Amino acid sequence: MKLKFHDRSRRFTSKPRVALVEPRDARLQNLREGVEAEFAGLREAREHLVKLALNEAEALALQTPVPHLVFPLLAREKVSALAAWHERQNALWPGEQPLAFAE
């Protein structure tokens, strides 16, 4: 958090940062839902990570002049990499992951 110095009061106060959120484009939303449906099994297992991958793909696509063309390919690439990582994790830890207990 950023601190701001006030000359009159001679104190620092925190200045909250406000993010301006634009409404998501309906076409991008439809494309996003299509990719989510394509990887529904992975989404159930790693929902948070799938959302992060799609957010990153959307942010990168919005930096291009044609985000509607770039987003589907980029999103599939990122979620496919996540699926491969998830499969490797399952191969290393089949079934339930062991819990560590401190004594």
The tens digit of pLDDT for each residue in 31-69 reads 999 998 888 888 778 888 999 999 999 999 999 999 999
Domain locations in the chain? 24-90
pTM of structure: 0.66
Q: Where are the alpha helices (DSSP H) in the chain?
A: 26-38, 40-45, 47-62, 67-92
Question: What confidence tier does 25 reach under pLDDT thresholds 50, 70, 90?
Answer: confident
CB 79 within 8 A of CB 50: yes
Question: What confidence tier does 72 reach under pLDDT thresholds 50, 70, 90?
Answer: very high
Residues 15-21 have a mean pLDDT of: 52
